[in-house]
A = this chain, B = another copy of it.
């Protein structure tokens, strides 16, 4: 940590801050520059020490040197984490593909979806039983019944089930049926929920909040890891920017960045990341080329009549073509799919 003093800071201000650093159990090291004095702070500054120093008298700013997350850090564990959950493996050489409809609508729809996506090469089935909807007037999911339909689809196809859990009180029930618990973007900083899924033995797919930094995403993962669950997959699904022609802006530079900072695998969601069915095939291929460990794609047997997100869902034929294309790109970059 570097404490940068203001130009007008007095010797007394510097002395005061040196004392405060020492009181925190850290070692201060004063460097007098030509225009400013800075205090280099030696020691593990991951804990909330920055906050304790930044408001000090004469302090211009405090610059952290170490990342605030630890268990998620690649420095702590250099080898990549491979997450396995039933038929799904994410993190090795082979790219995992999670596909299926936004919502579980009926037994028939989810089974048809599962059969179709498996045939095209998907390695897990997605489908929402509990749906967080922006409007209270929109379809909120079938709940327990939806979970049971997902389990039936798994029985039929062998595909692992990925489904969202919305609330702490639902964790046991969802964990009973699902192979992977999804934390949605809106809940990325719902810390109680993170702790709750951290105490299960289910793998977790953690989606980035649309207004969250990657550091915040890694700290959210840290909550789950810290609670004892090492099987976390990070999911980039786009951020809020001034661009209005896509639903969100999908920044694929997140892939090499996360790979350099963490051992956790990275899954890309081109469906929410663009919000347009027509963009999903090219952004899926781009995600694979950029090094994604997995994809999560919305596929519906009849997108035009979907109860939610039909406009960004592929139909089975489009999904097959997308998979064929992505498979070739995966080979081109030395991966399998």
Contacts and interface: CB of A to CB of B under 8 A. Distances in A.
Contact of A253 (B48, B133, B250, B255): B250
Give the most central of A34, A38, A136: most B CB within 10 Å.
Answer: A136
Nearest to A60: B65
Contact of A282 (B36, B139, B244, B256): B256
Contacts of A152: none
Given A48-B139, A329-B332, A333-B329, A242 B245 contact: no
Contact of A43 (B34, B42, B278): B34
A135 B186 contact: no
Interface residues of A, number: 107
B243 A251 contact: yes
A61 to B, nearest CB: 9
A262 B169 CA distance: 33
Contact of A42 (B31, B257, B283, B306): B31
A219 to B, nearest CB: 5
A176 to B, nearest CB: 19
Contacts of A291: 282
A12 B46 CA distance: 27
Nearest to A55: B311
Contacts of A210: 211
A77 interface: no
A88 interface: no
Give the most central of A63, A134, A213, A325: most B CB within 10 Å.
Answer: A134
A51 interface: yes
A31 B239 CA distance: 36
A285 interface: yes
Given A34-B44, A65-B36, A246-B253, A51 B311 contact: yes
Interface pairs A-B: 10 shortest CB-CB: A211-B211, A55-B311, A186-B189, A289-B289, A328-B332, A286-B290, A285-B289, A286-B286, A240-B242, A332-B332
25 contacts: A2-B38, A2-B40, A4-B65, A35-B44, A38-B65, A51-B309, A52-B305, A54-B310, A135-B219, A167-B168, A168-B168, A187-B189, A187-B190, A211-B211, A211-B240, A243-B251, A251-B251, A256-B278, A256-B282, A257-B279, A285-B289, A285-B332, A288-B289, A325-B332, A329-B329
A317 interface: no
Contacts of A249: 239, 241, 249, 251, 253
A210 B260 CA distance: 26
A181 interface: no
A287 B287 CA distance: 9
Interface string A271-310: 0011001110011011111110000000000011110111
Give the most central of A52, A282, A303: most B CB within 10 Å.
Answer: A282
Contacts of A290: 282-283, 285-286, 289
